[in-house]
């Protein structure tokens, strides 16, 4: 490629500073502040989900490649990108392990606090992609019955092993949401959705806040069991009324594990490197500087619910995240940016 690349990078992406400097002019900016004027002569963007990539940002610019260091792509206008020759890559599955850890820490933590037995319970997983598959494997390992709802997968693979949404809602003791945000999932969890859930059922949302109609969830709250919310409809602004009726509230950090952040940055860097032929970065992976990158192996087979809860909480004390968020709900952005990435735990399936 002729000339020196220019890359605009969201300054909250970890482990990336200094990586591209030998090959490109690199500009670091707050993702929510990046404007068309900032990218007018940029060749590539490396972003999170805080930057809306549509005509208002990209029209008339030199941008030809967008790499997202996150799973979500609802911030990207694919129709515009495709029609203007802009290639987009996201970090598919980068934080699946961290989100799985969050789900089970929340589940066992709330069950312990409320003395809810989990033996023989049915978990309904809505959206069985990279994250949902990890949740499914852990649920099976721990002895839960599992129901799966994923219309795109059911259409592609056949309906065996999947169920319709109504069946899942009516039959599940625990419902966990892992869908992408698109026209089919926006406002999916509305009054009708909640009315079909079992009395006392858990609800866990770690995907996108816009999937839930928050006012309908508040209205349905009296008949539900524990409610765990990590993603919010109007982030970084928080619905305080909803927060007040949740059992666990966190500032969109379910996937904030050390390994997840390493994976996301590595995938974004490699995507840019391969597009522009930067061979020295084809296999880039962030240096492991401290012990926090190590994952912890847990043996949970044959253990009682209390033992499982204790081991998981020891490795991810989720109520600490809940506590700091509740006392600082207006500090949503700061709590995320200063979050101490946690170790992931895993099991031998």
- Give the pLDDT means over successive 10-residue stretches in the chain (349 positions): 83 94 96 96 94 96 96 89 96 94 98 98 97 98 98 95 97 97 96 98 97 98 98 96 98 95 95 97 83 77 96 97 97 94 93
Is residue 226 situated within a structural domain? Answer: yes
Among 153, 252, 270, 336, the active-site one is: 252
pLDDT of residue 231: 97
Is residue 276 situated within a structural domain? Answer: no
Both 80 and 106 in one domain: the answer is no
Is residue 285 situated within a structural domain? Answer: no
Q: Does residue 42 contact residue 80 with C-beta atoms inside 8 Å?
A: no
Both 85 and 218 in one domain: the answer is no
Give the Cα separation of 79 and 99 in Å (integer).
29
> Does residue 153 carry a catalytic annotation?
no
Domain boundary among 56, 90, 124: 90
> Does residue 235 carry a catalytic annotation?
yes
Both 124 and 238 in one domain: the answer is yes
Q: Does residue 298 contact residue 98 with C-beta atoms inside 8 Å?
A: no
Both 172 and 47 in one domain: the answer is no
pLDDT of residue 349: 87
Among 25, 170, 235, 293, the active-site one is: 235
Q: Does residue 49 contact residue 29 with C-beta atoms inside 8 Å?
A: no
Residues with Cβ within 8 Å of 3's Cβ and at least 6 positions away in sequence, in order, are none
- Residue 169 maps to which CATH number? 3.40.50.720
Both 246 and 163 in one domain: the answer is yes
pLDDT of residue 49: 84
pLDDT of residue 71: 85
Residues with Cβ within 8 Å of 34's Cβ and at least 6 positions away in sequence, in order, are 8, 10, 45, 47, 51, 57
pLDDT of residue 290: 54
pTM of the predicted protein model: 0.91
Among 75, 148, 153, 208, the active-site one is: 208
Helix, strand or coil, per DSSP, at residue 336:
helix
Number of domains in the chain: 2
> Does residue 252 carry a catalytic annotation?
yes
CB count in 10 Å sphere of residue 334: 12
Both 64 and 162 in one domain: the answer is no
pLDDT of residue 94: 92
Range of the domain at 128: 96-255+299-346
């Amino acid at each position: 490629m002729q000339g020196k690349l220019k890359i605009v990078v969201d300054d909250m992406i970890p482990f990336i500073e200094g990586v591209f400097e030998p090959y490109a002019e690199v500009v670091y900016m707050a993702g929510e502040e990046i404007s068309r004027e900032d990218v007018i002569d940029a060749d590539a963007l490396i972003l999170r989900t805080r930057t809306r990539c549509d005509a208002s940002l990209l029209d008339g610019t030199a941008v030809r490649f967008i790499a997202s260091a996150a799973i979500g792509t609802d911030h990207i206008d694919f129709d515009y990108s495709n029609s203007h020759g802009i290639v987009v890559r996201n970090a598919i599955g980068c934080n699946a392990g961290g989100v799985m850890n969050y789900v089970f820490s929340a589940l066992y933590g709330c069950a312990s606090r409320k003395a809810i037995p989990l033996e023989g319970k049915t978990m309904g997983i809505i959206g069985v992609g990279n994250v949902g598959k990890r949740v499914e494997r852990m649920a099976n390992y721990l002895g839960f019955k599992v129901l799966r709802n994923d219309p795109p997968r059911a259409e592609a693979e056949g309906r065996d092993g999947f169920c319709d949404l109504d069946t899942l809602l009516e039959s599940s003791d625990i419902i966990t949401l892992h869908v992408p945000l698109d026209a089919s999932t926006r406002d999916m969890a509305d009054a009708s959705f909640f009315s079909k859930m079992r009395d006392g059922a858990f609800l866990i949302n770690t995907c996108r806040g816009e999937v839930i109609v928050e006012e309908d969830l508040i209205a349905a709250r009296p008949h539900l069991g524990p409610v765990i919310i990590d993603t919010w409809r109007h982030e970084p602004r928080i619905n305080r009324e909803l927060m007040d009726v949740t059992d666990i509230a966190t500032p969109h950090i379910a996937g904030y594990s050390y390994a997840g952040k390493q994976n996301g940055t590595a995938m974004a860097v490699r995507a840019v490197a391969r597009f522009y032929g930067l061979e020295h970065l084809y296999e880039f992976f962030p240096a492991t500087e401290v012990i926090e990158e190590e994952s912890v192996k847990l043996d949970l087979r044959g253990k009682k619910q209390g033992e499982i809860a204790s081991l998981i909480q020891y490795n991810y004390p989720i109520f600490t995240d809940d506590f700091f968020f509740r006392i600082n709900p207006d500090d949503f952005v700061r709590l995320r940016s200063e979050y101490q990435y946690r170790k992931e735990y895993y099991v031998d399936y």
